[in-house]
Amino acid sequence: MLNTISPNINFKSGLNKALIKECQSTNVKSLEKSLGSKNIPSDFGFNKPVAFAVGKIFEIFNLLKKQAKIFDISAPRIQAYLKSDLNFNFKGYGFCVPETQSILKNQPPFETGSLFFQKENSIEEIDAKLDETFSNDERSSSHYLAPFIHEFMHGIYIDYVYKKYGYEGECPYTAQKYKRSEKDCGLKVMNILQNLQFNNCEKELIRNVLGKYAATSKNQYHEVFAETFTQVLCKCLSDKDSLPIKNPLDELKTYPREFINIIKKLFV
């Protein structure tokens, strides 16, 4: 059974009637086939809200590749799930697998960088939940695409680390994609990054810019990266069709210098 919230929905976080209609008409199987042609296996379990959001994000990044030469996105696999499908307890909209592991009951382990999104009842409910978390200063953006963009950003950060440092782990997919030499140390760097913390002054600035979650999460370097570029990208999207109308790199330049210095630390 999917999570439900109050039916009293007043959407405002980048959502409109045209986008709701577009979501409702999403051809899930067609999107899975399209992603498959790009060597990205996906299983949305016929869940239109998740499929619509993921499809919109690929549309956004395809435009950005042509206009801004910003992050390229990909994933070894994209999966929609119910909480009852998972091998562990998890609270949130979704997650990105930092290293190959078993995720779903009665299924083999998933590759490093795989993306998982919880099945949703409707795009309107996603919008309403984001409004609530944003109004409580928890997350960096109230845009309905924010939780999906956030997980893709985790995948981008993982890709950055392994491209720079190589991969010495045991995931065959990741080894084939990134392994360069016997001196590879990307997995070690990844483990270090997952435990680094910002100082109290930096955390306060992060909280003021991005909200409580990025400032208080255990995995701070990864979460600050994901929340920052989620916020930046969402600020650049049109209220009409959720496609980019500004260059995210130009938007990033509007942030305080002290915050930019924090972001520079992420690119070790």
Which residue is it, tokens 């963009």? 149
* Segment-wise mean pLDDT, segments of 10 residues, the chain, 268 residues: 36 80 97 96 97 97 80 88 93 87 92 94 92 85 95 94 91 86 90 92 96 89 96 95 93 96 93
For the chain, the helix, strand and coil percentages under 3-state DSSP, each to the nearest 5:
50, 5, 40
- What one-character DSSP code corresponds to residue 4? -
Cα 166 to chain centroid, rounded: 22
First to last CA, the chain: 42
> What is the pLDDT at residue 2?
39
Which residues, in sequence order, are bridge partners of residue 248?
Answer: none
> What is the pLDDT at residue 138?
84
Q: Is 231 helix (H, G, I), strand (E, B) or coil?
A: helix
Are 115 and 79 in contact by the 8 Å Cβ rule? The answer is yes
> What is the pLDDT at residue 214?
92
- Biggest CA-to-CA distance, the chain: 57
Nearest Cα to Cα of residue 53 among 130, 105, 109: 130
> What is the pLDDT at residue 68?
67
Q: Where are the domains of the chain?
A: 17-266
> What is the pLDDT at residue 3?
38
> What is the pLDDT at residue 231?
96
Are 113 and 158 in contact by the 8 Å Cβ rule? The answer is yes
> What is the pLDDT at residue 237?
96
> What is the pLDDT at residue 66?
78
